[in-house]
Amino acid sequence: MVLREHITALKVMRTEICYKNAPMEDVVSLLKKSCRRETADFYQKAFEDAATGLAFSTAAERRFDILKKEGMAAEDIEGIRAACRVLGRYDSSIQGEQLVAAIEQLENNLQVLQKELSSKGRIYKTAGATIGIALALMVI
């Protein structure tokens, strides 16, 4: 799931920035090992654009259409956008605070999605069973 992958990426970033004081180049490199390729590429390409003189948030902003194409909800993209606004701009504690806030928001969104999926799954199973019984009764 795309959302889960971005949560993992933000957690990796938070750990590397807050506890190791790692530069963004190292953080992005580590994402390639920790996340699926598409997720790591999102941050890698934003970092490459930022290396040309753009702020990371501006560079990332150019890549958010990729997240829309992957099916991410607007509120999930906004959570990632909020995290990207501080990456590379402030000290590690402020970046860490914003990353924690973004992670919490995205994890809450993920829980809501999982609950919806669970309840819709039950509805579909019930509907399928009901239709099956109705068809069986019609045949008899």
**pLDDT (tens digit, 9 = 90+) per residue, 12-64?**
999 999 999 888 889 988 998 999 999 999 999 999 998 898 888 899 999 89
Q: What does each C-alpha distance from 24 to 33, 99, 128 come to in angstroms?
A: 15, 14, 50
pLDDT of 3 above 80: yes
In sequence order, the 6+-apart residues with CB closer than 8 A to the CB of 107 are 7
CB 51 within 8 A of CB 60: no
**pLDDT (tens digit, 9 = 90+) per residue, 88-124?**
888 889 999 999 999 999 999 999 988 887 776 655 5
Q: Supply the pLDDT for residue 122.
A: 57
Q: Supply the pLDDT for residue 41.
A: 92
Name which residue leads in pLDDT, 22 or 127. Answer: 22
* Token pair of 16 as six digits: 């590397």
- Which residue is associated with the tokens 């941050």? 43
Q: What does each C-alpha distance from 107 to 4, 13, 26, 69, 104 come to in angstroms?
A: 8, 16, 25, 21, 5
- Which residue is associated with the tokens 């920035």? 17
Residue 1: half-sphere exposure toward Cβ, Cα within 13 Å: 14
Single pTM value for the model: 0.79
pLDDT of 140 above 70: no
